Structure 1
Amino acid sequence: MKFNNWFKNIGPGPLIAAAFIGPGSVTVCTLAGAGFGYALLWALVLSIVATIVLQEMSARLGIITQKGLSDIIRTEIKHPWFKGFVIVLMLSAIVIGNAAYEAGNISGGVLGLQTVLGNPTVNVFGYSINILSIILGGLAFVLLYLGNYKILERVLLALVILMSLAFLVSAILTQPDVVSIFKGAFVPSFPDNSLLLIIGLIGTTVVPYNLFLHASLVKEKWNKTSDLGLAKKDTIIAVVLGGVVSMAIIVSAASMQGNNISNASDLAKSLEPLFGSFAKYFLAIGLFAAGLTSAITAPLAAAYVASGCFGWSSHLKSKKFQSVWAIVLILGVIFSSIGIKPIDIIKFAQVSNGILLPFMAVILLWLVNKSSVLGAFKNSLKQNILAILILLISILLSVATINKIFNFNLF
């Protein structure tokens, strides 16, 4: 009975987990495991704690105010120049950024399908069109166009469960050393040439657009202060599950340490001779589910941010709301199906996201300490101390991202 009640009270937490376990996360985790074994698992433990703290604050804001995060920011920041700067930054990082990343989300899901189905293409006007990209984009489009939160929640929950089982079974098949896993998870180490991967593991888990997505989605599910406990439990369970899935990918890849592996598709093919076709199929299914979930949540987050910034309705069937996610999704399908990588836009988006994360951590911390916004539900001293520590991490991530883009060689 208790399990049924918990299942009924599942909220947007699994959608948040679905959003941060995308093809980018899968690739970074694969590289971390193949390159350094279990040694970087601690970075994911740190990421899980940081994500829980930030997402809980975001969810609390959404439930108490019944507004999206970008909407709250637009109304609470009074200085016109600073407000304009923050709105432009949010639109650049989330709307333009997610449009640039969407091709990668779809391509990642397609990689999983190609591992099993091959690479069906058709030639149109001299371009080789990948049919699987169009199919995956079409699935995402239908689910978003239905405009039904409950359907979206259940489909993404099913995909998260499928993805979790796929990656966890893959990890178990490799018969990992449990003692070494615990050591890697709780004893920080910094092997040579591992710093950028450590930052990548944190950066693909602590995702700025998830803060906007969470604040907007919780109000679809909950609207009473008595629901805060359910939202917190939902956040903790989902983020921990997402973190465990990411760890499972590292563990799977660690079994192939030293091999030339650059993504999960390579890993799936490499595991087959050692652990049988099951390993290949489980990893392929996991990669497909990771790509599809991110292909749905990225356009959705972009639509919520744009709606809040411009004061539009954020109802799932609002025409303006639908037009934003449709543009993001269609651009992703086009770029993915013809193999174009908009490098300059992606670099711009990475810089914007790198700047946005510490800004969002500061603004979020400011909002959750305002009595006029949260009243009796504002942050406690303990919550503020944790949030400040995470702010310092976000600043490190920001500097590292910009350093990576511009090759300043600060690390």
Structure 2
Amino acid sequence: MDEEEKSALLKTPFWKKLGPGLITGAADDDPSGIATYSQVGAGFGYAMLWTTFFTFPLMVGIQVVSARIGRVTGYGLAANIRTHYPPWLLRGIISLLLVANTINIAADIGAMAAALKLLIGGSPHLYAVVFGVLSLVLQVFIPFPRYAPILKMLTLSLFAYVATVFIVQVPWGEVLRHTVMPSISFKTEYVVAVVAVFGTTISPYLFFWQASQEVEEQRAVDGDEPLKEAPQQASAHLRRIKIDTYIGMGFSNLIAFFIMLTATVTLHLHGITDIQSSEQAAEALRPIAGEYAFLLFSAGIIGTGMLAVPVLAGSAAYAVAESFRWNIGLGRAPLDAQGFYLILIVATLLGVALNFTSIDPIKALFWSAVINGVIAVPIMAVMMLLAARPDVMGQFVVSTRLRVLGWIATCVMALAVVGMGITSLL
């Protein structure tokens, strides 16, 4: 990248600089995440609002690390783990990731179908098939340079949760007081809720997706090379990654805050404390907050689901394909990356199929969260080790500040998993 190209990148309109980080952050607020945040808000009210601010710097730290690994090396996380660590570690991580992502896809598609049924009636099974097929058509048949902007536009659907708050009456002074000075408890149910928020917010599929999307974007632009091979391109791209990730994770946590707040002021304060799904949260809003709040909440479930399902299926496809050294990428034609697209299709269709079984979606989602929480810790540890190795990152090993933040995030997730284990035995 010469000086003219670097100057052009720096002058790129702000919206166009946002990409992998923004999409990753928005995909974190998927329908299953909405269900978790609604459960927490309904069950504990203001007492959980602080968690969204606590997790923000942790998300930023670990997602910046994943993005830098992808951009610097030119390979996703699975390819780097395959190159530098034993095969058994990669196989174990990818197997659990594939299971967790497929269950999550099923839960998200089911929530989207249920939300559409709330809006217009009809068969949720039919809607599940339609959403699954629509997601696949967009991913398989639309070229990546045209598909990425669609994902970016879908992030706007999350503003439905911001709008919902301003439709209902909110005691902002009380909200601020409880957020700044939270009432923290060590009761089992409170600890489980905190662990659920952490596990929902910091998820392994987000690491794989953002790293791989950095690789996709680098390969999609003529003249762009992995930063390890083209250090002269580093200044502009590392700055872009930082801005993109800060905004994406900030957006993610802001939406989570508003979902919790909506559930608090409309459900918890009216005595409704047991919410089991995102569509149940939407339905409960109608008699309390009014028709507009119900419509916005339901529409948001569908919009964020259409964003999250491709990220879940795509991250699984990237991980599996890289593990087997297959051609990867949404930027490739299906015939040029058959294994990659096969995994993407199978994961999505299995997710659809699970909605036709007798499997309890809430229990399935719980076990998905458990798997995600367990595998997040070794993946984060491996990422931090990779990011500090000169043979992997060249001159772009992560700074001391980023290293400390990343390891703090890893330790917090480890403590969350331990806490989850302890509370499950009590």
The equivalent residue for 1:32 is 40
Query: Offset of 1:12 from its aligned partner?
Result: 1.1
1:198 and 2:198 correspond = no
Q: Given that residues 68 and 215 in structure 1 are in contact (C-alpha distance below 8 angstroms), is that contact kept between their aligned partners in structure 2?
A: yes
1:137-187 residue CA offsets vs partner (Å, 9 max, x unmatched): 11111111125223332222222101x221111111122222333333333
Q: Given that residues 102 and 298 in structure 1 are in contact (C-alpha distance below 8 angstroms), is that contact kept between their aligned partners in structure 2?
A: yes
The equivalent residue for 1:229 is 239
Q: Given that residues 93 and 350 in structure 1 are in contact (C-alpha distance below 8 angstroms), is that contact kept between their aligned partners in structure 2?
A: no
The equivalent residue for 2:70 is 62
The equivalent residue for 1:354 is 373
Q: Given that residues 97 and 345 in structure 1 are in contact (C-alpha distance below 8 angstroms), is that contact kept between their aligned partners in structure 2?
A: no
The equivalent residue for 1:215 is 211
Choose which of 100, 105, 109 in structure 1 pairs with 2:103.
100
Q: Aligned AA for 2:105?
A: E
Q: Given that residues 173 and 275 in structure 1 are in contact (C-alpha distance below 8 angstroms), is that contact kept between their aligned partners in structure 2?
A: yes
Alignment of 1:3-402 (within 5 A): 5-77=13-85, 83-120=86-123, 130-146=125-141, 148-162=143-157, 164-191=158-185, 192=187, 193-222=189-218, 223=224, 224-225=233-234, 226-255=236-265, 256-257=267-268, 258-259=271-272, 260-316=274-330, 317=334, 318-338=337-357, 340-341=359-360, 349-402=368-421
Q: Aligned AA for 1:166?
A: A
Please tell me the root mean square deviation across aligned C-alpha atoms, in Å. Answer: 2.2
Q: Does the residue aligned with 2:13 lie in a helix, a strand or coil?
A: helix
Q: Does the residue aligned with 2:388 lie in a helix, a strand or coil?
A: coil
Q: Aligned AA for 1:52?
A: V
Q: Does the residue aligned with 1:366 lie in a helix, a strand or coil?
A: helix
Q: Given that residues 110 and 291 in structure 1 are in contact (C-alpha distance below 8 angstroms), is that contact kept between their aligned partners in structure 2?
A: no
Compared with structure 1, are the counterparts of its residues 88 and 147 closer, same or farther at alpha carbon in structure 2 (3 Å cutoff)?
A: farther
2:310 and 2:394 map into 1 onto residues whose CA distance is 34
Higher mean Cα deviation, 259-268 or 390-399?
Answer: 259-268
1:3 and 1:182 map into 2 onto residues whose CA distance is 38
Gaps of 5+ in 1: 78-82, 122-129
Query: Offset of 1:25 from its aligned partner?
Result: 1.1
2:178 and 2:195 map into 1 onto residues whose CA distance is 16
Q: Aligned AA for 2:176?
A: F
2:409 and 2:297 map into 1 onto residues whose CA distance is 32
1:249 and 1:169 map into 2 onto residues whose CA distance is 10
Q: Given that residues 13 and 235 in structure 1 are in contact (C-alpha distance below 8 angstroms), is that contact kept between their aligned partners in structure 2?
A: yes
1:351 and 1:40 map into 2 onto residues whose CA distance is 20
Q: Aligned AA for 2:397?
A: K
2:213 and 2:67 map into 1 onto residues whose CA distance is 8
Query: Offset of 1:11 from its aligned partner?
Result: 1.5
The equivalent residue for 2:4 is none
Aligned residues: 392
What TM-score, normalized to structure 1? 0.89
2:362 and 2:54 map into 1 onto residues whose CA distance is 30
Gaps of 5+ in 2: 1-9, 219-223, 225-232
1:84 and 1:134 map into 2 onto residues whose CA distance is 36
Compared with structure 1, are the counterparts of its residues 268 and 41 closer, same or farther at alpha carbon in structure 2 (3 Å cutoff)?
A: same
1:403 and 1:330 map into 2 onto residues whose CA distance is 35
The equivalent residue for 1:124 is none
Query: Offset of 1:319 from its aligned partner?
Result: 0.6
Higher mean Cα deviation, 235-244 or 261-270?
Answer: 261-270
